[in-house]
Amino acid sequence: MAQAYVIVGASLAGATAAITLREEGAGGAVTLIGAESEPPYERPPLSKAYLRGEVPFDKALVRPPTFYAEHGIDTIFGTRATRIDAAARFVELDDHRRVSFDALLIATGARNRRVAIPGADLEGVYSLRTVQDADRIRAEMTAGRRAVVVGMGFIGSEVAASLRQQGLEVVAIDPSKTPLFRVLGEAVGQRLADLHRAHGVRTIFEDTVAAFEGTRRVAHVVTNGGLRLDCDLVIVGIGVEPAVDLLEASGIHVDNGVVVDQHCRTNIDGIYAAGDVANHYHPIFDRQIRVEHWQNAIKQGAIAARNMLGHAVAYDEIPWFWSDQYDWNLQYAGFHTKWEQLVVRGRLDSDSFLVCYVNDGRIDAAVGLNRAKDVRRVMPLIKARRAVHLEQLQDDSVDLRSLHASP
Amino acid sequence: MAAEFVTTIKTSEVPVGGLAAIDVRGTRIAVANVGGTYYAFDDACTHEQCSLAEEGDLAGTTITCTCHGSEFDVRTGKVLAPPAVLPVTVYRVRVEGDVLQIEV
């Protein structure tokens, strides 16, 4: 049994792992190391209710600040881990301290992708990942101001919605044909674009930013398509990349994140990874996947902890997430990169539908707009990995739970 | 005012495995029928206030708020799965003839 459990990354995955280690009776020291100075918190509210000032930061905390000391979890917050020495079994911090480990969890998460757009360092150009980022944006969110959102993935879409809800004028730019084009495809993306426009967002697709202009502060966004947009602030949301700098020369296998098996184990004994950073083998989909969402962080963090304690628990959750925008509840479950058939339950031109991404007659994934129950009920069908009756699937009068029971 | 049992809806309005939402003296309460036993609890999920009667899926004594996946034990209100952190308040239920009475 390990004597020193160290977790790098005081993320939702990292914090959940620390809590689970204690809940499951870890005997030795548990140390949670995080670059941010705040206690671990959940990020979903940062682009939604917290950004709009509807909930206090306390509500986003994974546990109350005093919890960790009370439960024998040593915390080192506001300190970045800079290097892992897998052979000598220590983590080096940015204050040159070294923390020795017997078992290590890498839960460093992801960081925002940066682009070399001229003017990206002007005042008023933001990205959103941390609560401090959210606070900076929030301080600028006055009704009537003009915002440009660059990138209409999940974060961009949610931020655009929150800005509109706070009465700002919003222009959204994305290189694809629609919001969330790469994940959800054109048909669903077009519907989401319509809905954003119905909420007053001006959308510009198939165009990219050439430059942010202004003297000290951003005043214009210039696009490669030749547009020049006046603005007061810009939020860039063009995706994230796994935070793996500290693993350089560690010998830990990195390829689109930290490569782990279904037990969250890296190629080096006693070293694990979980959360956004973990490119994990998924036994249901029989391939490596990396998931950048809340459910993966919390559930994989817990599984990793149990495996650090000597169990052999496979992580096989069906990826699932929600994205609340305006008064819509958008949810996705499963994993897909392509699809042979798109099966629609309900009408795509309505405000409530489920779209299933089907290959070989099986549902690989589904996205629901205001279809929370259907998304929840389709998850066992995705997990079962077997063909379903597609006619029944698209028949709105059929309860998806009854499909599950059919052979 | 002391809590008392208030007559609400007929038992037949909540089928086995089903849910219903009722306003009881200004409080919106959800009722679940688990194999003929009725459980009452606050209808608003403690995470983001989705209606558990409308958005909830009941399996045994577990209700899943499908908005964001929180799970509660309908017998105790206890959180079984996040993102909810706080339990839902539960109320005592009794059957009088063919009606449900809930203590508020």
Amino acid (1-letter code) at residue A190: Q
Which of A324, A315, A312, A325 has the alpha carbon at shortest distance from A295?
A: A315
CB pairs under 8 A between A and B: 25
Which residue from B minimizes the CA distance to A54?
B48
pLDDT of residue A406: 53
CB < 8 Å to B55, chain A: 372-373
Note if the bond before A118 is cis, omega within 30 degrees: no
Residue A323's pLDDT band (cuts 50, 70, 90): very high
User: Residue B66 and residue A298: Cβ atoms within 8 Å?
Assistant: no
CATH of the domain at A392: 3.30.390.30
pLDDT of residue A404: 67
**Nearest chain B CA: its distance from A372 CA (Å):** 5
pLDDT reading at A345 higher than 90? yes
Number of Cβ atoms within 10 Å of the Cβ of A258: 29
Pair (A210, A256) in one structural domain: no
Q: Looking at the partner chain, which of B57, B64, B68 has a beta carbon nearest the beta carbon of A322? A: B68
Q: What is the pLDDT of residues A242-301, one digit of tens each?
A: 999 999 999 999 999 999 999 999 999 999 999 999 999 999 999 999 999 999 999 999
DSSP 3-state percent helix, strand, coil across chain A (nearest 5): 25, 30, 45
Q: Would you say A339 and A359 are in contact if contact means Cβ atoms under 8 Å apart? A: yes
Tokens describing residue B101? 């009475």
Residue A377 forms part of a structural domain: yes
Pairing verdict, β A4-8 and A103-106: parallel
Q: Looking at the partner chain, which of B48, B55, B83 has a beta carbon nearest the beta carbon of A373? A: B55
Q: What is the pLDDT of residues A146-182, one digit of tens each?
A: 999 999 999 999 999 999 999 999 999 999 999 999 9
Pair (A145, A88) in one structural domain: no
Tokens describing residue A48? 């939604």
Residue A1's pLDDT band (cuts 50, 70, 90): low
Pair (A210, A247) in one structural domain: no
pLDDT reading at A2 higher than 80? no
**Nearest chain B CA: its distance from A62 CA (Å):** 9
Determine contact: B23 vs chain A, CB below 8 A: no
Residue A241's pLDDT band (cuts 50, 70, 90): very high
In angstroms, rounded to a whole number, what is the distance separating the alpha carbons of residues B102 and A326? 35
pLDDT of residue A66: 97
Q: Which own/partner pairs from A48-53 qualify as long-range (CB within 8 Å, at least 24 positions apart)? A: A48/A158, A48/A161, A48/A162, A48/A324, A49/B48, A50/A131, A50/A134, A50/A138, A51/A128, A51/A134, A51/A137, A51/A138, A51/A141, A51/A159, A51/A162, A52/A141, A52/A162, A52/A165, A52/A166, A53/A138
Number of Cβ atoms within 10 Å of the Cβ of A376: 23
Pairing verdict, β B99-103 and B93-96: antiparallel
Task: Please count the CA atoms within 13 angstroms of the CA of A219 that sit on its side-chain side.
Answer: 5
Pair (A97, A77) in one structural domain: yes
Pair (A100, A247) in one structural domain: yes
**pLDDT, average across residues B17-22:** 96
Where is the domain boundary, A213, A236, A259?
Answer: A236
Domains annotated on chain B, with CATH: 5-98 (2.102.10.10)
Buried-state track A264-292, b at ≥16 Cβ within 10 A, e below 16: bbbebeebbbbbbbbbbbbebbeebbbbb
pLDDT reading at B39 higher than 70? yes
pLDDT reading at A405 higher than 70? no
Pair (A141, A210) in one structural domain: yes
Q: How many residues does chain A have?
A: 407
Residue with tokens 């003297």: A215
Q: Residue A352 belongs to what domain range? A: 327-405
Pair (A193, A258) in one structural domain: no
DSSP 3-state percent helix, strand, coil across chain B (nearest 5): 5, 50, 40
User: Residue A377 and residue B57: Cβ atoms within 8 Å?
Assistant: yes
Tokens describing residue B52? 């558990």
Residue A120 forms part of a structural domain: no
In angstroms, rounded to a whole number, what is the distance separating the alpha carbons of residues A308 and A28? 12
Residue with tokens 């020495």: A85
User: Residue A320 and residue B69: Cβ atoms within 8 Å?
Assistant: yes
Q: Would you say B50 and B44 are in contact if contact means Cβ atoms under 8 Å apart? A: yes
Where is the domain boundary, A236, A270, A299?
Answer: A236
List phi, psi (to 5°) of B18.
Answer: -105, 175
Pair (A248, A277) in one structural domain: yes
Number of Cβ atoms within 10 Å of the Cβ of A101: 24
Output the CA angle A50-A277-A37, nearest 5 degrees: 45
Pair (A99, A143) in one structural domain: no
Pair (A230, A145) in one structural domain: yes
Tokens describing residue B37? 């036993």
Indicate the average pLDDT of chain A. Answer: 96
**Nearest chain B CA: its distance from A220 CA (Å):** 37
| 3 state SS of A187 | helix
Structural domains of chain A, count: 3
Residue A322 forms part of a structural domain: no
CATH of the domain at A57: 3.50.50.60
Residue A359 forms part of a structural domain: yes
pLDDT of residue A114: 87
In angstroms, rounded to a whole number, what is the distance separating the alpha carbons of residues A174 and A252? 35
Q: At what angle do helices A154-165 and A186-198 cross, to 10 degrees?
A: 20
User: What stretches of B1-104 show up as alpha helix (H) in DSSP?
Assistant: 52-55
CB < 8 Å to A376, chain B: 57, 64, 66, 69
Full DSSP string of A118-169: TTTTSBTEEE-SSHHHHHHHHTT--TT-EEEEE--SHHHHHHHHHHHHTT-E
Q: Would you say A178 and A189 are in contact if contact means Cβ atoms under 8 Å apart? A: yes
Q: What is the value of ipTM here, to two decimals?
A: 0.88
In angstroms, rounded to a whole number, what is the distance separating the alpha carbons of residues A340 and A318? 20
User: Residue B67 and residue A372: Cβ atoms within 8 Å?
Assistant: yes
User: Residue B82 and residue A298: Cβ atoms within 8 Å?
Assistant: yes
Full DSSP string of B81-93: ESS--SPPPEE-E
Residue A318 forms part of a structural domain: no
Q: At what angle do helices A12-23 and A294-308 cross, to 10 degrees?
A: 40
User: Residue B57 and residue A320: Cβ atoms within 8 Å?
Assistant: no
Number of Cβ atoms within 10 Å of the Cβ of A58: 9
Output the CA angle A218-A224-A226, nearest 5 degrees: 85
Residue A395 forms part of a structural domain: yes
Q: What is the pLDDT of residues B64-97, one digit of tens each?
A: 999 999 999 999 999 999 999 999 999 999 999 9
Residue A119 forms part of a structural domain: no
In angstroms, rounded to a whole number, what is the distance separating the alpha carbons of residues B8 and A52? 38
Residue of A50, A321, A329, A379 to mutate, interface with B, max B Cβ within 10 Å: A329
| 3 state SS of B56 | strand
Where is the domain boundary, A179, A204, A236?
Answer: A236
pLDDT of residue A116: 87
Pair (A18, A104) in one structural domain: yes
Pair (A144, A201) in one structural domain: yes
Residue A317 forms part of a structural domain: no
